[in-house]
Amino acid sequence: MKARYWCSAAALATFVLATPTLAKGPTDADLMADAASTGDVLTYGMGPRAQRFSPLTAINAGNVSRLVPAFSASLGGEKQRGQEAQPIVYDGTIYVTGSYSRLFAFDARTGEEKWQYDARLPDGIMPCCDVVNRGAAIYGDKIIFATLDARLVALNRETGKVIWNKEIGDYKAGYSATAAPLIVKGMVITGNSGGEFGIVGSVQARDVNTGELIWNRPMIEGHMGTFKGQDNGITGKTNASWPGDLWKTGGGATWLGGTYDPETNLLYFGTGNPAPWNSHLRKGDNLYTSSTVAINPDTGKIVWHYQTTPHDGWDFDGVNEFIPFDATINGKPMKLGAKADRNGYFFVLDRTNGKFIGAHKFVMQTTWADGFNAKTGRPNYIEANRPGMPSADGKGSQVFASPSFLGGKNWMPMAYSNDTGLFYIPSNDWGMDIWNEPIAYKKGAAYLGAGFTIKPIAEDHIGALRAMDPKTGKIVWEYKNKAPLWGGVLTTAGNLVFTGTPEGYLKAFDAKTGQELWKFQTGSGVVGSPVTWEQDGEQYIAVMSGWGGAVPLWGGEVAKTFKDINQGGALWVFKLPR
């Protein structure tokens, strides 16, 4: 019998609901071993490094054409908008988050709903880019997720009852949260959203059992970090790369979440755009926005950073996932990390120290820069393609920039195959007219200072799934899609790559050649991240279906082209017929 719960944030801040004692659930060791375990999916990214690679081979390139639905489970109600979640699978239960800060538990064998939790959101929430949620984290007896009013909620994984509920930011100032939390060493680690409202991006670590704050590390220079309630050093150096007081409302939201590498004991978080978008107001690099930042989880201090777009003027958030991997380059074994950035370049860094190894264009065009300097690791800017400074009473000069601010790759996670040595990148080819406008900060108001119109740049596609060799920067194959790609990618040892399309299909491709091998129509756009696991001797594939996200809200001429895609909310699970 299913149960349904909702509770107000204010009430939950003052008391804790009693929960029954349960059998022990996933441990720290289980989470760290998730990439190798096949009977469950315990972490966002299918392992702390988030490579999204499974060693399972029962479903493979030779038989995937026979894949059929095992069941579909509806999220129900009227809140069907932008189902971007990745499922978590444990002990016969599939946990998925839904739009408007909901969490569901479904029976992994039948699809029957066990329980549902609906966060009671206040009227004044300010989500920038739709009411999405990308997934939950599991630990012990808890399932934990973030909400649109910038809270972190831990539920009993068997009953759905609240264990703890904590505020991570002031939603009235524009803070929100959409990322799946990361759990490392008994700490639940998460970022925040709200860069378009002049918030300050940060990474927080909390005790997974109590929700109490352990450390907080701001991502904008000049802000003080904390550790167990005490000052823990200022991030960077005040006014080193920010003029005046703009650092106080500098953006840099860590809205996608992070990855963790046990070998280096480093957390890797991407940071968002500086605020406001009008770059002429904030001379300098504006650290640590549009960057990858490595943090020591034991101290909450930054170990290294690499800025993918210094002095960003196009909203090229650098939040994209940084995926650790090992490779031999020029005969030298190296511990590396890769990131396909909003700005259209695929970066390879030494993950131990952030040293620049290379940057390779993975989209059709990058009009804002012409490559990266191999010695400095900085972009070769095309200054004529930076939008102009506005006058006191009017907009500045307009430029055409590509990629658009929605990025060569946006939030949707790529995958790395240990078999092929390739990264599979869900990318988009589009551009935008962009111009700057006068702006001043006001708490809780949009803080852009720019206008834009997104436009297609190719006749036959916008989306393109691309297989890239990180050693050479060469694109090995690509699959073009008429609509933008907005969902995550899964790859397996069965020589397969899975991803979804806004047209409603979940598709499977040959990992070596890119040949399309199978597709299934789910009834709504697929913008979730697929996963796979083994259960009762069979391999399963699961994905969320439900169109939404930033494209229909911000996509300009592109959004008009695909305005008739139906919204929805369903979990689809597939397997081979017996």
Q: What is the dihedral of CA 313, 319, 325, 329, to 10 degrees?
A: 0
Longest dimension (CA), the chain: 70
Question: What element of type H or E holds 398?
Answer: none
Question: What element of type H or E holds 522?
Answer: none
Pair type for strands 369-372 and 356-361: unpaired
Q: If 0-12 CB within 10 Å is exposed, 13-18 middle and 19+ buried, where does residue 60 land?
A: middle
Exactly one of 315, 317, 341, 429 is catalytic; which is it?
Answer: 315
**315 labelled catalytic:** yes
For residue 446, the SS3 value is coil
Q: What is the number of H-type helices and E-type strands within the chain?
A: 4, 41
Copy the structure tokens of residue 448: 């852009």
For residue 109, the SS3 value is coil
Q: Give how far the C-alpha of residue 555 lies from the chain's centroid of Cα atoms, to the nearest Å.
A: 19
Going by C-alpha positions, the residue among 261, 253, 326, 264 that lies closest to residue 291 is: 253
Dihedral over Cα of 434, 437, 440, 446: its sign: negative
Contacts of residue 195, defined as CB under 8 A and 6 or more positions apart, other chains included, come to 128, 201, 251, 252, 253, 255, 272, 273, 275, 317
Residues annotated catalytic, as ranges: 315
